[in-house]
Amino acid sequence: MEGLTSVDVCSGAGGLALGLESAGISPVLLLDNKRQACETLLTNRPEWNVVCDDLIDFLPEKFPEALDVDLLSAGLPRVKASAAVRRRDSDQELRLLTATICLVHSIQPRALLLENVPALAESPAYSGIREFVRAELAHLGYEFCWFVLNAADFGVPQERRLGVLVALKKQWFHAFAPPRPTVTEHVPVGRALRRSMAARGWPDADTWAAQALAVAPTLVGGSDNRGGADLGPSGTKRAWARMGVNAGTLANEVPGPDYQWQPTAGTARMLKITVDQAGLLQSFPPEWRITGRKTARYRQIGHATPPPVGKALGTAITTALRSSSLT
């Protein structure tokens, strides 16, 4: 088994696919229903086979290259707890999760990787969904495990807990183990953004960075039905304010040489991060271009799986699939 291949659905800005690529897993097809996300993928990887279509309408038999792959991966829209309990037939996020499991029937990959909210892996509110997944995967000959990772444990400067499902055909599952942290010390916001804060000559960049000693709160992409971009709910905004950051909006550029930062004077005198800096907090490489207008770009970033987490998961799956004991 040489180079491994994947089909990646709900690909978004490509965070999960990029991480898997770093682990040696090449996508033969990527699927997303948002035009802007598809544009982002093709801008960065014009050689990728990107299909702009809805997962629920996707017919893999029209794409023969998708029918013999090592991995089916999905960074799915976040399933809501209320949907798991009361709105099973109408909730779009839950339908996408169900569609992904059903796609396993058609594609028959050697492994499956789903990333979603941590509660999906551990909360009793989602037990019905987990039972559906268990029954379907057992019927198809897979063994699986649910677990929760924190992106900060993999060098991402952000507190971001991820619920993960990994399933493999039975002959490989024994060789799989969830990835272990790759860093012993979390990366604080100040260290992650100091260089970019100083890029236009802001003299207080080092002073700001020296007091921004926490990892970032979870970036929240928000809904397409909401207004402009911000960094999250009220609790998140308070955490940012403690680092001297106004999380109510995003800046168009980093501070210049004349910018006066006065966090004790209130939110209005705090600095704002840019969309590109949000990409750094999600650990996208600086050269990865997120296309679209400011709000659309931020939402793609906020919804993404951090690439270092994708790489760690891909490495663990690759290790299992390349195990020599294929009984």
pLDDT of residue 106: 93
Closest residue by Cα to residue 113 from 10, 234, 249: 10
Residue type, 139: H
The H or E element containing residue 75 is: strand 71-75
Assigned domain for 326 exists: no
pLDDT of residue 45: 98
Three-class secondary structure of residue 273 per DSSP:
coil
Residue type, 271: L
Q: Report d(CA 245, CA 237) in Å as an integer.
A: 8
Q: Which two tokens stand for residue 194?
A: 């100091």
Could you list the pLDDT tens digit for every one of the 327 residues in the chain? 578 999 999 999 999 999 999 999 999 999 999 999 999 999 999 999 999 999 999 999 999 999 989 999 999 988 875 444 444 444 788 899 999 999 999 999 999 999 999 999 999 999 999 999 999 999 999 999 999 999 999 999 999 999 999 999 999 999 999 999 999 999 999 999 999 999 999 999 999 999 999 999 999 876 666 556 789 899 999 999 999 999 999 999 999 999 999 999 999 999 999 999 999 999 999 999 999 999 999 999 999 999 999 999 999 999 999 986 444
Residue 220 and residue 89 share a domain:
no
Q: Which two tokens stand for residue 314?
A: 């891909």
Query: Residue 177 sits in a domain of what CATH number?
Result: 3.40.50.150
Host domain of residue 235: 189-301
Closest residue by Cα to residue 37 from 91, 77, 94, 83: 77
Residue 209 and residue 84 share a domain:
no
pLDDT of residue 313: 98
Q: Report d(CA 206, CA 312) in Å as an integer.
A: 31
Residue 287 and residue 167 share a domain:
no
Assigned domain for 327 exists: no
Do residues 312 and 22 lie in contact, with contact meaning Cβ atoms separated by under 8 Å? no
The chain-wide mean pLDDT, for the chain, equals 93
Query: Across the strands, what pairs with 60?
Result: none
Three-class secondary structure of residue 289 per DSSP:
coil
pLDDT of residue 327: 44
Please provide residue 111's backbone torsions phi and psi, each rounded to the nearest 5 degrees: -145, 155
- The total number of structural domains that make up the chain: 2
